[in-house]
Every structure is written in C-alpha cells, then in structure tokens.
Amino acid sequence: MINEYCENILIQQTMADFLREKLGWKVSYAHNKEKLGANGTYGRESYEEVILPKQFAAAVKKLNSWLTDEQLGEVKKALESHLASASLMTINEEKYTLVKDGVNVSYVDKNGERRQRKALLIDFDKPENNDFLAVQELKIASPQFGSRRTDIVGFVNGIPLLFVELKKQTVDIADAYNDNYRDYLHKIPQLFYYNAFIILSNGLDAKIGTLGSKYAFFHEWKRLQESEQGRVDLETMLLGVCKKENLIDLLENFIVYDHSNGRVAKIMARNHQYIGVNLAFAKYANRDFSGGRLGVFWHTQGSGKSYSMLFLTQKIKRKLPGSPTFVMVTDREELNKQLSATFANCGALGAQKASSFIASSGEDLIDKLKSNGSYIFTLIHKFNKTDAEPIVPNHELFIISDEAHRSQYGDLAENMCRMLPSAIRIGFTGTPLFTSDAITRRTFGDYISVYDFQRAVDDKATVPLYYENRADKIKNLHNPKITDELLEAIANADLDDKQKEKLEHEFAKEYHLLTAQARLDIIARDFVKHYSYIWETGKAMFVCLNKITCVRMYDLVQKYWQEEITQLEEAIKCIPDQQDALYLQRKLDWMQQTKMAVVISQEQN
C-alpha cells in the first residue's frame, strides 16, 4: 500500500511540476500544510468550502476594480448559493453560466436608482490575466461522509474548474473513474458544482470528460495540430487542455448543455472538433481574403458535425464583432429538424421554438434572409427560383452547408450563390471530396479541416466499418422459362434499331436479373435474418441499383421485419427462463423501435 501511494505521489508531482514549469501555473501542496481561517493558506473557514476565498477575492477585484467589499460578498454568495433540491447537473449548468457570463451586482447610481452591473469572474480575452493554481492533496469534507483528499484540483481565480484523478502506471485509468471519481461525486459533490473538466490518468494514458459522462465518453487528447499523427500521453493532454489560453478557450467556447430527450448531457468538444473549429474560426476571422469561400470541413460520419457547427457559430457570436445571420442549409427535412433541434436544445436559439427558425417555403426563406435573425434553417431545395432577385442585406450572411459533397452544389447551389452574392460560405461533409468534385470546391473552397474515417476509428470517435460478402448466402437465379419468355417477347415486339440497341444494352447489364422479384425477395429475407441476429451492434445502409428497386427492397424488408417481430413475440410467450425472456424482450423492443427510410440523392439521380 505504501509503494502504491508513493507511485501515485510520484505521478502527481510530475504533473504538478509540468503545470508549473511548462505551463506557468502556480502549484501548492495542501496536505498537512493548509491553515484554515480568513488569514490562512487559501482563506477557507472550513474544509467544506471549495472556492478559495483569498484567490477569488484578489482575482475578481482585479477584473472589476469598481467592486466594493459588500458587492464582492454579493458575487460570492450568488456563486455559492443553490436550491437544495437541485440536481448536481442543474447546479453545474447554473454555475457555468455565471462563470461564463458574470454575476449581476446591484448598485445605486448617482440619481439614487438601483441598477445592476455584471461582475466578471474570468478574463476570457486575456488568459494570462487570470490566476491559475493547481493544489495537490486538497482536503474536502462533507457533514455526512467525512473528508476526502483529491490528487490535483485546478483553480482559476479561486474557482475549482479542473479535477484530476491519478493512478500508478500499472493500473487501468478506468479504476480512477470507478473507484475514486464516482466516490467523490457521491461524498463531496460540492467540488463538482463548478467543474468544467475531469482528467483521469495513470501517467501514461490520459482521458478527459465532463460531469455526467459515462467512462465510455471520456476521450483522449492526442494532437496539438491537425497534421500530427497523434499520441496518447499525459503530456499531450496537459499541453492541449491545460495551456492557459487553451483552457480558457475550451471553457468559454467549447462546452454546451444538451437538453435533448428529457435529460441533460454536458458536452465538451473532442480533440478533433476543437482543432477543426478553431481552424474554421480563423478562416472566418480573415474572411475578407477568402472571396466568400471559407472551404470544406471534412469530418467523417459520427464525429459530431452538428456540435462542431454549434461550437463554430457560438464562438463567432461571442468573440467577433457584428451579428451575422447563420444560414444552416441541409438537403433532407429530417436533417433540417435534427440540426435545428440540436441548436435549440443546447440553448443557441434562446427561448424561441426551433420551428420558428425553419424556412417553411421559398418565400419565407427570402423574408428571413432580409431580416437580421440569428439563425435560419433551410433545405437547399428552397433555393429553387432561378429568376429570384439577388439579396444583399445590410447584415452579413454566413452559409453553413451540411453534406456539401452530395446535393449542395449544382443548380440549387448556383441559385443560392446567385441569390446571395455577398454571403460567406463553408461546407461541412462526412465524406471526402474526389477529383471530380470541382463544383464543390468552386462553391466552398478547399479543405479547412480533415478528420478522416481511419483517424476517427483510431481515436474511437466512431465504430469500425466491416465488409461481409453475402454472395454465398444468395444463390444465383437461373430460370430458363423466364429467359425463353423474354426472348419470345423481344422477337414479337415491333422495335426499331435504336430500341433494340437500348434493350440489348440493358440486358448486357443483367438489369432484369438483378431486379427480379425472386432475387430481391431472397436478399430481403437474408437482410432481415442477418440484422435481427446481430441486433446489438452497428447500423446498416443498403445501396440499391435505382430508386424503384430501392422502394421495392424497402417494402420487402419491412414485410419480413414485421414477420420476424411476430415470431419473436410468440417465442417470448413460450420461454420458461426469465433471463432468456428478458433478453428477447430487449431484442423485440429494439426491432420495434428500429427506423428505416428510403434516402434518395436527387442531384446524383
């Protein structure tokens, strides 16, 4: 036990030295050295306090020279008070808002009227103007559970924003989450009222996450620049996250609370999102030299493009002058609703409903473009008027096109560019641009940020893609009777030479065999059997020869999917073992909730 403790202290001290020597943090060791009281080490009156009064008072007065001692007390009280019935996540979100936007302080003006003014808690414009203090072995107590000693807590202006739990090198960092972090959450929850970042490490590996995240959602910080191959270690994590300007940037611009589906999830940008969004932000900040085309943001499917768009727009609104209208362009109604709902659930649209920001028609879109709204969500198909008058409003339009590789070029995009000649454009895509995508580049420009599929798999940001040859499961169709009937029909048909040539061309492609009902039926049955068997993993995309075949396959799969559900319902009734029955019930619930849809890219026919 002593050896294990010594190894932990060694890793802890190594990290503390790095914060001090490489990143310019102050470092303090608290165990058996901290003195309580107003004139003590940190000014804490008791071990239950988690805001450091001395550091807090000095920093906040430095940022707000107009504050009196009485007003400073008002700020601290507002920061520390909360409803006893509120959940930890609710408190954390409330405190984050105060840390980010400041605390309202009342004062009496020269006319004797009571007014309010914001007291800033963090200097977001000048990171070096803040007080960064890392405290080792800080004692935190609670009335019910006694005290705990934390490895490292990072304070900015006396506010505990960073929690670090360390293990020795031979221990999996999952133990830091399960054995220590979760225990602290339960026994000293007040430490996490203000927490922004949680780092878990064993000195070699390191992961970062946020309050409320399962361990599976803690992620690595492998790169400081997008061009780097990347490495997993504590040093890269600290350089990427705890460098003063990075930590302040992450705190201000890369945390959101998503209120989707009746629950709250605290979302922090992943490494690739932070780098990519900042590259796009820099492009926008220098947009005068872009000719209206910022470029293409290629982050593979599953890497969080919707959140990246949100982070980008929110940072632009907060950090740059002006009030641009963000025109969020998608190519499917489902995507349009999904994207607007994400922005609404994360608070970007204020108190208004997401539907009020969606263009309901081409005319409604024109009206919205002329007004200086914060966001517009529209389908690319709303730009369907070739004779529409150009719109050059007195405010800036910033077009953010989702799936820019697929449908957001060609006639509709040409209409968009012609209709909004002064707009700034950026394209988001989940798939790479090929050499033939010259129109996409002409519409949006070259790559800004690239996060391809292999890198996402390596980073565990998305699941691997596997190919399985199913040909051996589907026997070749050979029916001489069909062949004879077709030949006879062709012979009896009154066809000219061009019609015969076209027919021969179609048969050369084996079109009629590929779309034969018997073949599609076999494939549909196999598809349903396969995916109802491996129901606990993955998603599927079925690519068809043409639109008609796609709809036919959809109908067949729906038919056999329902048959599989019926058989499963009957099987559950007959199973005596409770665990088996529960397993099949979960499978049944999944099959009943599974969604399928026909997706057609009109521009690509």
Residue scoring higher pLDDT (485 or 181): 181
Q: What is the pLDDT of residue 2?
A: 47
pLDDT digits (tens, 9 = 90+) for 426-460: 999 887 665 545 556 677 888 999 998 788 777 77
Q: Is the pLDDT of residue 367 over 80?
A: yes
Q: Mean pLDDT across the chain, nearest whole number?
A: 88
Q: How confident is the model at residue 236 (pLDDT cuts 50, 70, 90)?
A: very high
Q: What is the pLDDT of residue 48?
A: 97
**Range of lowest pLDDT (161-175, 260-274, 279-293, 538-552):** 538-552
CATH code for the domain defined by 269-458: 3.40.50.300
pLDDT cut 90: percent of the chain above it: 62
pLDDT digits (tens, 9 = 90+) for 96-121: 999 999 999 988 888 888 899 999 99
- The residues spanned by each domain of the chain are 2-253, 269-458, 471-593
Task: Please state, in angstroms and rounded to a whole number, the distance separating the CA atoms of residues 280 and 292.
Answer: 13
> Side-chain half-sphere of 205: how many Cα atoms within 13 Å?
13
Q: What is the largest CA-CA distance in the chain?
A: 106
Q: What is the pLDDT of residue 541?
A: 82
**Range of lowest pLDDT (27-36, 170-179, 489-498):** 489-498
Q: Is the pLDDT of residue 197 over 90?
A: yes
Q: Is the pLDDT of residue 251 over 80?
A: yes
φ/ψ of 152, rounded to 5, equals: -140, 130
Do 246 and 23 touch, CB atoms closer than 8 A? Answer: no
Q: What is the pLDDT of residue 553?
A: 93
Q: Is the pLDDT of residue 227 over 60?
A: yes
Do 205 and 218 touch, CB atoms closer than 8 A? Answer: no
Residue scoring higher pLDDT (469 or 172): 172
Q: How confident is the model at residue 467 (pLDDT cuts 50, 70, 90)?
A: low
Q: How far apart are the first and last CA of the chain?
A: 68
Q: How confident is the model at residue 1 (pLDDT cuts 50, 70, 90)?
A: very low
Q: What is the pLDDT of residue 21?
A: 97
Residue scoring higher pLDDT (141 or 510): 141
Q: Is the pLDDT of residue 242 over 90?
A: yes
Contacts of residue 283, Cβ cutoff 8 Å, sequence gap at least 6:
290, 294, 295, 426, 448
Q: Is the pLDDT of residue 583 over 90?
A: no
Q: What is the pLDDT of residue 291?
A: 84
Q: CA geometry: angle at 372 spanning 368 and 373, to 5°? A: 65
* Nearest residue to 345 (alpha-carbon basis) of 259, 264, 265, 266: 259
Residue scoring higher pLDDT (583 or 316): 316
pLDDT cut 70: percent of the chain above it: 87
pLDDT digits (tens, 9 = 90+) for 261-302: 888 999 999 999 999 999 999 999 999 888 888 999 999 877
pLDDT digits (tens, 9 = 90+) for 291-347: 888 999 999 877 899 999 999 999 999 999 988 999 999 988 888 999 999 999 999
Q: How confident is the model at residue 481 (pLDDT cuts 50, 70, 90)?
A: low
- Residue recorded with tokens 């966001």: 375
Both tokens of residue 593? 């909730």
* Nearest residue to 134 (alpha-carbon basis) of 299, 287, 263, 14: 14
pLDDT digits (tens, 9 = 90+) for 132-157: 999 999 999 999 999 999 999 999 99
Q: Is the pLDDT of residue 605 over 50?
A: no
Q: What is the pLDDT of residue 508?
A: 57
Q: How confident is the model at residue 408 (pLDDT cuts 50, 70, 90)?
A: very low
Q: What is the pLDDT of residue 103?
A: 97
Both tokens of residue 565? 């559900």
Do 272 and 459 touch, CB atoms closer than 8 A? Answer: yes
Q: How confident is the model at residue 372 (pLDDT cuts 50, 70, 90)?
A: confident
pLDDT digits (tens, 9 = 90+) for 65-89: 999 999 999 999 999 999 999 999 9
Q: Which DSSP state fits 503?
A: H
Q: What is the pLDDT of residue 315?
A: 98
90-98 long-range contacts, Cβ below 8 Å, gap at least 24? 90/264, 91/193, 92/192, 92/193, 92/194, 92/195, 92/211, 92/266, 93/257, 93/264, 93/266, 95/193, 95/194, 96/194, 96/196, 96/255, 96/257
Q: What is the pLDDT of residue 100?
A: 98
Residue scoring higher pLDDT (166 or 114): 166
